[in-house]
Amino acid sequence: MPDPTADPRHVFVYGTLRRGERNDIAHFLPRPDYVGQGRLRGLLYDLGAYPGAVLGGETWIEGEIYRITGEVEAALDVLEEVAPDGSGEYLKREVPVESQGRMLICLVYEIHPERVALKPVIACGDWRERRGPIS
């Protein structure tokens, strides 16, 4: 479990945690600070109601970067079903993310590779572009 008193960290979000989406990260408390748009290398998969990223490769995944507290990190771990033994739906990683010409080390929730078998890839790398306008 993350330490709620730890220094703020950055998180990269690429799906339902983005602004205006159903799990908008702005609804978490203390409210995360928006840092900017970001992107990282990986493949984005369409899992129906949400996407899942597998890190690495040559294509880009688009998203947003936020500064979060340990309290918010703990809440995100629960939402993303991170398990200490790696068996959860998502795996929490710390990776460099490109943002406005610089690299920031960010937490990224990577879908467990077993969860994307036979799922379609979102070739554009952007959940919003694939899903269409928010209704």
Catalytic residue numbers, as ranges: 80
Instruction: Give buried/exposed letters for 46-82 (b at 16+ CB in 10 A, else e).
Output: bbeebbbbbeeeeebbbbbbbbbbbbbbbbbbebbeb
Nearest CA-CA partner of 45 in 104, 97, 123:
123
Pairing of strands 102-111, 9-13: parallel
Q: Which two tokens stand for residue 3?
A: 């330490």
What residues contact 83, with CB distance under 8 A and at least 6 apart?
none
